[in-house]
Amino acid sequence: MNTLTLAFILALLATGTAARAASHEHEHQHDAATQQAAATYVGIGLLKAVNAKDGKVQIAHEPIAELEWPSMTMWFTLREPLSKGLKAGDAVRFEIKQGEKKQWLIEKIERK
């Protein structure tokens, strides 16, 4: 076997190993992203405003440690319409999940 042939075979082997490693890394990143997207987080806060037309609520929430979020006021999209018993000014407990478009969706919200 000449030097050129040996170099070619070694290059093919190295490329295949690198491709398998890159593929495995991509699968791991995809799995981690899927797990994170599927995670649900709990928040406690004050319902500040309701936009029933757009299916959104504004909540001034306490820190959410799992997301490393400080206390802040933000708008969230509701997965389902707000129950008739909830209104601006109510203290609430809510569960959020990141949606496909990276927006935060309220999966569940109830009076605290």
Note whether 1 and 46 are same-domain residues. Answer: no
Q: For 86-111, how does the pLDDT look when each residue is reduced to its tens digit (9 = 90+)?
A: 999 999 999 999 998 889 999 999 99
Note whether 34 and 61 are same-domain residues. Answer: no
Note whether 53 and 79 are same-domain residues. Answer: yes
Q: Total structural domains in the chain?
A: 2
Strands 40-51 and 91-98: antiparallel
The answer to whether the CB of 86 falls within 8 A of the CB of 47 is: yes
Sequence letter at residue 43: G
pTM score of the predicted model: 0.67
Specify the higher pLDDT residue, 94 or 18: 94
What is the domain-level CATH number for residue 99? Answer: 2.40.50.320
Domain containing 92 equals: 40-111
